[in-house]
Amino acid sequence: MELKKTLSLIEDIEQKNVKIDEILSSLPISSRNELLEEITRDIIEQNSIIKEHGFAKENTCDPESPTQEISSINLLIDNLVSNIQKNPSKKVLYLRLFLERFRDISDQDKNVVILSIKDEDSKGLKEKILSILKVFKLEG
């Protein structure tokens, strides 16, 4: 008798699990990449520092996108150099914001890049950044 009750309970649990699976599969759950894009878009649209210094939503760079053109990367670099020239005390912040656009570069590599660039004169900065992007194969 106890065995029948136990089997009945297990069967009920399995039916409820099937219902839960059906309900969950019908929910509109975004993928990880979609969530990251949405979060990034929200940060860019709502962050006053980014707005103040000209980093706009249309200037974000997704290195995984095959349609990204080298001119947009050049535009980003020009914008970065211009912002650094206007406010050199925030150079590390601008470099970090710029490098955060590239998901393929690890955080350790980003820190190394920042350390190697932070003392660079703004005149040679663009060439240095372009060479770094070539090392990481992110030139367009």
pLDDT per residue of the chain (140 residues) written in tens, 0 to 9: 889 999 999 999 999 999 988 887 777 777 777 788 888 878 777 777 766 665 554 445 454 454 444 567 778 788 888 888 888 888 888 888 888 877 778 888 888 888 888 887 777 888 888 887 777 766 54
Q: How many domains does the chain have?
A: 1
Question: Is the separation of the CB atoms in 67 and 81 below 8 Å?
Answer: no
Question: Is the separation of the CB atoms in 77 and 129 below 8 Å?
Answer: yes
Instruction: Return the pLDDT at 68.
Output: 45
Looking at the domain assignment, is residue 47 inside a domain?
A: yes
Looking at the domain assignment, is residue 52 inside a domain?
A: yes
Instruction: Return the pLDDT at 12.
Output: 94
Looking at the domain assignment, is residue 38 inside a domain?
A: yes
Looking at the domain assignment, is residue 103 inside a domain?
A: yes
Contacts of 98 (CB under 8 A, 6+ apart): 76, 77, 80, 129
Looking at the domain assignment, is residue 57 inside a domain?
A: yes
Instruction: Return the pLDDT at 42.
Output: 80
Range of the domain at 8: 2-135
Structure tokens at 140: 């367009």
Looking at the domain assignment, is residue 140 inside a domain?
A: no
Indicate the residue type of 31. S
Can you tell me the distance from the alpha carbon of 93 to that of 98, in angstroms, rounded to the nearest whole number?
A: 9
Instruction: Return the pLDDT at 11.
Output: 94
Instruction: Return the pLDDT at 15.
Output: 93
Give, to the nearest 10 degrees, the angle between helix 70-86 and helix 91-99.
160
Looking at the domain assignment, is residue 87 inside a domain?
A: yes
Question: Is the separation of the CB atoms in 117 and 125 below 8 Å?
Answer: yes
Can you tell me the distance from the alpha carbon of 115 to that of 70, in angstroms, rounded to the nearest whole number?
A: 25
